[in-house]
Amino acid sequence: MRLTQVNWNGRVTAAFINGDNLARPIPEHSMLELITRSERQGDDLTSIASTHAIAHGEKLDPILPIHPREVWACGCTYETSAAFRDAEHGTREGFYAYVYREPRPESFFKGTARVCVGPGQPIGIRFDSKFTAPEPELAVMLGAEGKILGYTLANDVSAWDIERENPLYLPQSKVYNGCLSLGPVIVTPDELGDPYNLDMTCTITRGGKELFSGSVNTSKLHRKIETLVEYLYRANSVPSGSVLCTGTGIIVKEEHALQPGDVVTIRVPQIGELSNPAEIVS
Ligand code: DO4
Ligand code: MG
């Protein structure tokens, strides 16, 4: 099933997307409320959604598919990300390769719903960054005790120059207004198929012209998603209705640093297209 949120009758409302690409809103439920209800009743999200959705489909645009309680992100899970960061950094040789290689993954707190935007909304470029880049990632929506409820697309927008200056600046390079885009839909595990065989592409367009294009297949993800989740939950009671981003395998170099007005589009055929314009945030 493909689930999202829509603006419906003046309220953020969970909906599922039917075969005709129409939304069937689930009245009185946001995505978080849908998850809470499914966990309280012990029924899966799919059956709660199909029981309570309105009967007919409507043409409604997907918005942020969940207002997550917490967002966490993993890093250096693709060889390209570790290698480019080591090359960028140049202070301690293999600093990022170490994390790529060792059993313990990198994970960091990316924020809450406050920093998230949905399809079509502006992603942020910090006013004090000259090199901000999109990081296209597969993300999972988590239920109680880290159950993977579904998959979506994420853009872990990052101020690479701030991270490059000193690794202790990582939180400032990663967490600020508009630093994460999610959507357009959440695809349940039964519908997605193999999460380790997804073709992901990313483009940046400027003034309507393509400036950058990159791609990766999630077969290059160096960790099992369950392992990333297991480490996240070690001594850390992440609440149900949180999101975990699994790291980027597409690297955007400094020559393609985001400028205001650029449009970043991430695509995975099984999930859809997540497109956002960039703007300066202060
Ligand atoms: O170590 C810095 C962040 C890495 C990251 O966000 C990624 O690899 O996706
Ligand atoms: Mg990332």
pLDDT digits (tens, 9 = 90+) for 213-230: 999 999 999 999 999 999
C-alpha 260 – ligand 2 centre gap (Å): 20
Residues 6+ apart with CB under 8 A from 201: 213, 214, 215, 266, 267, 268
| pLDDT tens profile 100-141 | 999 999 999 999 999 999 999 999 999 999 999 999 999 999
**Residue 58, Ramachandran bin (φ over 0: left; ψ between -120 and 50: alpha; else beta):** beta
Which ligand places an atom closest to the C-alpha of 160?
A: 1
Instruction: State the pLDDT confidence band at 33, using cuts at 50, 70 and 90.
Output: very high
Q: CATH top-level class for 71-281?
A: alpha beta
Q: Provide the residue ranges of all domains of the chain, joining segments of one domain with +.
A: 2-52, 71-281
Closest residue by CA, ligand 1 atom 4? 75
Ligand 1 atom index nearest CA of 99: 1
| Alpha-carbon torsion (17, 224, 112, 251), positive or negative | negative
pTM of the predicted protein model = 0.97
Yes or no: say if 277 and 262 are a contact pair by the CB < 8 Å rule.
yes
Instruction: Identify which of 71, 72, 74, 76 to mutate to test ligand 1's pocket (most ligand atoms within 8 A of the CB).
Output: 76
Q: How far apart are CA 188 and CA 148, in angstroms?
A: 9
Ligand 1, residue 78: give the atom nearest the CA: 8
Q: Which protein residue's CA is at the shortest distance from atom 9 of ligand 1?
A: 247
